[in-house]
């Protein structure tokens, strides 16, 4: 380690005081990587011209202020909202140089990167979709950076490459994904995504000739609704500045001339999706208010008769998810059922008076359902663990799918007329495994699995319960090496989400595996705001009750300390997107509880968030400061406005990128500047900013390994973990 410090002393022009402090720390047996952080954050780094620059760089402050219903709020870093200005670009470049300089020298990075690569660089396959006897799926081979789109004729047919994104970009930041497949499997829609954008350009392929159709769609946010059964066109939705709108496209026509079929006049906070029924007879249109579906409306159009668009559900303050089966429509809903139920209505007369309950509400959350093999396959979340139950069309119980492990189910696929069903199962130490299930025989077999080098028997998963601030009982998963001693000083990484009705269930994570293999404890509390215990649980963590989510998360950390699993010097937290808001609030409300924080693609300025990108969709979940009644509770927790000058904050690494077109990167930029200026302690506040990638899927393996190595190295260093 002394050699490393000597090397750094040459690389970083430093004040004598900083160098002396670092060297004395090492001599006093303080972990040397802590001394390294002292050294790196105390002096300037070198810029490209070889001259010294302050690390982190000083950030210009504005005197901009806003008046929110009589309350004046200063926003000193408003100028950083402009992503394209030369001043912002220079600031990003300086921040990245500082971050690279610090993180690039941390010990153990090679070992971390090697292990992450071992876990990721294996054949990885996603669940298939069967169309016309062909099986369509995406797969990333061990030596590939990106998923490739494939098909095979029959379960054991020869694999055929449909679209390989590797040649599309030299740095492999362009990816592809399935958008839709025709009923006979002869036509395929796929999206090309650049970086981590939500937007894609839509392309179409003849799967028999492998020739592109002459109808590429320009880059936008699309929802593919399905091909018509005569394959002359397709339905789709597209996000516009006015809101989401639904269209019909006929092959050969200029997409700019596509007729609007639904959505005129709907506000930007409402999402429109379309779907052609499995038999091709009907078009299903769903209108969802807010990303978490505060309420929804259902419409149906008879395509065979070119009938009018007819309402099935309207003006009911609840959420409905629908699937058409023959002459009936099945809908899961939280209408008069906080834990959700399943109802059926005849398409000939879908009035509420004709609705029939087929699967009643129980005390377990009904997550979703599929109509497969002449039966209703219903997925539940029981104490944050997945269950699958099967029902006859009239609601009579028809058995369960016996899941081999406690975990998370996803990618459930199948058809009404076929007993073949596919689903994916994963847990903390079990990578995604694709099962093929025969509903007629009740038999299950593994269709595909990733041969990730990990022995599940070497790990343990435990679910504990703790009391939050208001005495609400909250469950939490703990993942750790079998037989590991809980000695009160266990390096701990805690993460969470708590929002948008999304349930936190056990899932495989390479970060979690590496953390636990290095002797750490990985913890996931199931916070209010999620969907684990129905709509009441969700509503207990949204709008004016959002503080409950932060209390639950803080309470989880305090419980881990009180029960001698860890202590504040060994506790780190991590969150992404809405989870980034979570850890942003946690670090501003309880900074002394954590040693280090990873805050990824976050929302942090909750007074202005609604003004950017697609954030209007989230107003039903969070509220908006434009509303005089909602401003007070948003202002009460908004992390950016609650940074206190001179306060000692934990080490923080913000992660975002230019291609995040969902959560505006300005949140991380402004919060980085604010915390750096306010920091009263000696812990680093850093920004890792990718100029090509962003929020959504499609990152190449090499980039995943690089980013995760940086993040884990940062946490290990701050918690004093010597990487083995």
- Give residue-wise pLDDT tens across range 260-274: 999 999 988 899 999
Are 339 and 362 a contacting pair, CB within 8 Å? yes
What would the mean pLDDT of 309-322 be, rounded to a whole number? 95
Tell me which residue has tokens 């901009």: 64
The residue range of the domain holding 527 is 55-117+472-719
Within a domain: residue 47? no
465 bridge partner residues = 475
Number of domains in the chain: 4
Catalytic residue check, 667: no
Radius of gyration over alpha carbons of the chain, in Å? 26
pLDDT number for residue 156: 87
Tell me the C-alpha distance between 325 and 334, whole Å.
21
How buried is residue 122: exposed, middle or buried, by Cβ count under 10 Å (0-12/13-18/19+)?
middle
For residues 610-623, give the mean pLDDT.
Answer: 93
Find the CATH number of the domain harbouring 504: 3.40.50.1820
Cβ proximity of 185 and 134 under 8 Å: yes
Contact 376, 439 (CB under 8 A): no
Give the separation between CA 532 and CA 149, rounded to whole angstroms: 33
3-class secondary structure, 432: strand
Q: Is 554 within the bounds of a domain?
A: yes
**Token pair of 34 as six digits:** 């802590």
Mean per-residue pLDDT over the chain, rounded: 90
**Do 98 and 154 belong to one domain?**
no
Residue 482, number of CB atoms within 10 A of its CB: 11
pTM over 0.85: yes
Confidence bin at 292 (pLDDT 50/70/90): confident
Q: Do residue 265 and residue 181 come from a single domain?
A: no
pLDDT of amino acid 660: 86
Considering 203, 277, 695, 713, which one is annotated as catalytic? 695
Task: Dump pLDDT digits (tens) for 418-449.
Answer: 999 999 999 999 999 999 999 999 999 999 99
Predicted pLDDT at 1: 33
Indicate if 521 and 583 belong to the same structural domain. yes
Domain identity same for 173 and 270 = no
Determine contact, residues 291/577, Cβ cutoff 8 Å: no
Residues 6+ apart with CB under 8 A from 621: 290, 291, 292, 294, 499, 500, 542, 543
**Can you tell me the mean pLDDT for 511-523?**
97
In a domain, 318, yes or no: yes
Boundary of a domain, candidates 151, 181, 210? 210
Check whether the bond before 413 is cis (ω within 30° of 0): no
Q: φ, ψ for residue 89 (rounded to 5)?
A: -65, -40
572-590 average pLDDT score: 98
Look at the block and give the residue holding tokens 């609650």: 642
Q: Which residue's structure tokens are 């994570």?
A: 509
Q: Which of 330, 356, 382 is the last residue of a domain?
A: 356
Q: Catalytic site residue 2?
A: no
In this structure, what are the phi and psi dihedrals at residue 346, rounded to the nearest 5 degrees?
A: -75, 135
Dist. CA 178–CA 273, nearest whole Å: 17
Neighbours of 116 (CB within 10 A): 22
On whether residue 418 sits in a domain, the answer given is no
Q: Is residue 279 part of a domain?
A: yes
Classified as helix, coil or strand, 29 is: coil
Work out the pLDDT band at 693, boundaries 50, 70, 90. Answer: low
Q: Which residue has the tokens 């008046």?
A: 67
Whole-number Å distance between alpha carbons of 158 and 149: 14
Whether residue 707 lies inside any domain: the answer is: yes
> Is the distance from CB of 273 to CB of 237 less than 8 angstroms?
yes
How far apart are the C-alpha atoms of 230 and 250, rounded to whole Å?
11
Query: Is the per-residue pLDDT at 381 higher than 70?
Result: yes
Same domain, 251 and 186: no
- Residue among 296, 577, 638, 711 flagged as catalytic: 577
State residue 19 phi and psi, 5-degree precision. Answer: -65, -45
CATH code, domain with 317: 2.130.10.120
What whole-number percentage of the chain has pLDDT above 70?
92
**Domain boundary residue, one of 307, 328, 356:** 356
Q: 186 and 230 in one domain?
A: no
Residues 59 and 174 reside in one and the same domain: no
**β-strands 65-68, 52-53: how paired?**
unpaired
pLDDT of residue 698: 66
Which of 542, 696, 691, 547 lies closest to 613, judged by CA? 696
Which residues are within 8 A (CB) of 691 and not within 5 positions of it... i.e. 6 or more apart? 92, 657, 658
Distance CA 157, CA 135 (A): 9
Residues 202 and 227 in one domain: no
pLDDT of residue 696: 59
Residues near 554 by Cβ (< 8 Å), separated by ≥ 6?
Answer: 469, 586, 589, 590, 593
Whether pLDDT at 3 is above 70: no
Listed residue (718, 723, 705, 600) closest to 662, CA to CA = 600
**Phi-psi category of residue 595: left, alpha or beta, with phi > 0 → left and psi -120 to 50 → alpha:** alpha
Structure confidence at residue 397 as a pLDDT band (50, 70, 90): very high
Task: Kindly state whether residues 510 and 644 are assigned to the same domain.
Answer: yes
List the alpha helices (DSSP H) in 448-532: 510-517
Whether 465 is covered by a domain: the verdict is: no
* CA distances from residue 51 to 38, 46, 48 in whole angstroms, order as listed: 21, 5, 8
Question: Does 400 fall in a domain?
Answer: no
Cβ neighbour number for residue 362 with a 10 Å cutoff: 14
Sort 393 into a burial class: Cβ within 10 Å, 0-12 / 13-18 / 19+.
middle
Same structural domain, 493 and 590: yes
Report the greatest alpha carbon distance in the chain: 84
Q: How far is CA 679 from the centre of its chain?
A: 29
The count of other CB atoms within 10 Å of the CB of residue 348 is: 8
Q: Is residue 301 within 8 Å of 260, Cβ to Cβ?
A: no
Over the stretch 214-242, which tens digit does the pLDDT of each residue have? 778 999 999 999 999 999 999 999 998 88
Residue 46 has pLDDT above 90, yes or no: no
pLDDT higher than 50, residue 2: no
Condensed to tens digits (0 to 9), the pLDDT of residues 620-669 reads 999 999 999 999 999 999 999 999 999 999 999 999 999 888 899 999 99
Q: What percent of the chain has pLDDT over 90?
A: 83
Query: Other CB atoms closer than 10 Å to residue 577's CB: what's the count?
Result: 18
152 and 239 part of one domain? no
Is residue 592 located within the same domain as residue 677?
A: yes
Model confidence at 247, pLDDT cuts 50, 70, 90, reads very high
Read off the pLDDT of residues 98-154 as tens digits, 9 standing for 90 and up.
Answer: 999 999 889 899 999 999 999 999 999 999 999 999 999 999 999 999 999 999 999
Angle (CA) 612 613 615, round 5°? 75
Q: How confident is the model at residue 697 (pLDDT cuts 50, 70, 90)?
A: low
Assign 29 a pLDDT band (cuts: 50, 70, 90).
very low
């Amino acid at each position: 380690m002394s050699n490393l410090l000597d090397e750094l002393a040459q690389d970083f022009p430093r004040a004598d005081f900083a160098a002396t402090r670092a060297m004395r720390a090492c001599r006093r047996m303080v972990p040397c990587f802590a001394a390294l952080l002292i050294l790196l954050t105390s002096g300037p780094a070198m810029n490209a011209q070889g001259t010294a620059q302050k690390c982190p760089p000083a950030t210009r402050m504005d005197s901009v202020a806003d008046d929110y219903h009589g309350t004046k709020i200063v926003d000193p870093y408003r100028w950083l909202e402009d992503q394209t200005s030369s001043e912002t670009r220079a600031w990003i470049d300086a921040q990245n140089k500082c971050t690279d300089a610090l993180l690039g020298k941390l010990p153990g990075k090679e070992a971390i990167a090697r292990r992450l690569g071992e876990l990721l660089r294996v054949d990885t396959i996603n669940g298939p979709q069967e169309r016309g006897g062909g099986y369509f799926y995406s797969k990333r081979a061990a030596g590939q950076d990106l998923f490739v789109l494939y098909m095979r004729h029959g379960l054991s047919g020869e694999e055929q490459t449909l679209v390989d994104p590797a040649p599309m970009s030299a740095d492999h930041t362009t990816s592809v994904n399935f958008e839709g497949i025709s009923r006979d499997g002869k036509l395929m829609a796929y999206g090309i995504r650049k970086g981590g954008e939500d937007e894609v350009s839509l392309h179409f392929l003849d799967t028999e000739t492998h020739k592109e159709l002459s109808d590429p769609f320009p880059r936008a946010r699309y929802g593919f609704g399905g091909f018509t059964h005569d394959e002359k066109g397709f339905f789709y939705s597209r996000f516009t500045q006015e809101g989401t709108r639904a269209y019909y496209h006929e092959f050969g026509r200029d997409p700019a001339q596509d007729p609007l079929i639904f959505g005129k006049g709907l506000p930007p906070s409402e999402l429109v999706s379309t779907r052609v029924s499995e038999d091709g007879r009907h078009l299903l249109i769903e209108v969802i208010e807010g990303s978490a579906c505060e309420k929804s409306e259902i419409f149906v159009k008879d395509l065979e008769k070119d009938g009018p668009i007819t309402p099935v559900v309207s003006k009911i303050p609840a959420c409905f998810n629908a699937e058409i089966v023959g002459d009936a429509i099945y809908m899961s809903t939280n209408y008069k059922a906080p834990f959700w139920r399943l109802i059926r209505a005849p398409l000939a007369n879908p009035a509420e008076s004709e609705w029939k309950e087929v699967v009643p509400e129980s005390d377990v959350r009904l997550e979703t359902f599929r109509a497969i093999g002449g039966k209703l396959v219903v997925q539940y979340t029981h104490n944050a663990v997945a269950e699958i139950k099967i029902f006859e069309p009239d609601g009579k119980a028809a058995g369960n799918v016996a899941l081999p492990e406690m975990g998370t189910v996803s990618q459930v696929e199948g058809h009404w007329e076929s007993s073949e069903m596919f689903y994916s199962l994963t847990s903390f130490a079990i990578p995604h495994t694709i099962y093929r299930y025969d509903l007629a025989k009740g038999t299950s077999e593994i269709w595909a699995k990733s041969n990730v080098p990990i022995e599940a028997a070497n790990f343990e998963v435990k679910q504990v319960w703790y009391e939050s601030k208001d005495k609400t009982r909250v469950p939490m998963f703990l993942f750790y090496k079998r037989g590991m001693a809980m000695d009160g000083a266990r390096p701990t990484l805690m993460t969470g989400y708590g929002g948008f009705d999304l349930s936190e269930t056990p899932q495989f994570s390479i970060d979690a595996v590496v953390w636990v293999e290095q002797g750490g404890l990985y913890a996931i509390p199931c916070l209010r705001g999620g969907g684990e215990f129905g709509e009441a649980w969700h509503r207990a963590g949204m709008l004016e009750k959002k503080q409950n989510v932060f209390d639950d998360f803080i309470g989880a950390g305090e419980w881990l300390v009180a029960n001698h699993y860890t202590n504040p010097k060994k506790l780190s937290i991590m969150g992404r997107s809405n989870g980034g808001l979570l850890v942003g609030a946690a670090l501003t409300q309880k900074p002394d509880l954590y040693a280090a924080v990873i805050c990824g693609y976050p929302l942090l300025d909750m007074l202005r968030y609604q003004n950017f990108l697609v954030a209007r969709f989230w107003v039903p979940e969070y509220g908006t400061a434009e509303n005089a009644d909602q401003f007070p509770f948003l202002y009460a927790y908004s992390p950016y406005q609650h940074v206190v000058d001179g306060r000692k904050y934990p080490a923080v690494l913000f992660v975002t990128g230019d291609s995040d077109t969902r959560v505006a990167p300005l949140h991380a930029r402004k919060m980085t500047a604010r915390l750096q200026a306010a920091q009263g302690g000696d812990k680093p506040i850093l920004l890792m900013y990718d100029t090509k990638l962003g929020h959504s899927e499609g990152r190449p393996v090499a980039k995943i390994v690089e980013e995760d190595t940086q993040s884990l190295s940062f946490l290990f260093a701050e918690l004093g973990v010597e990487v083995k």
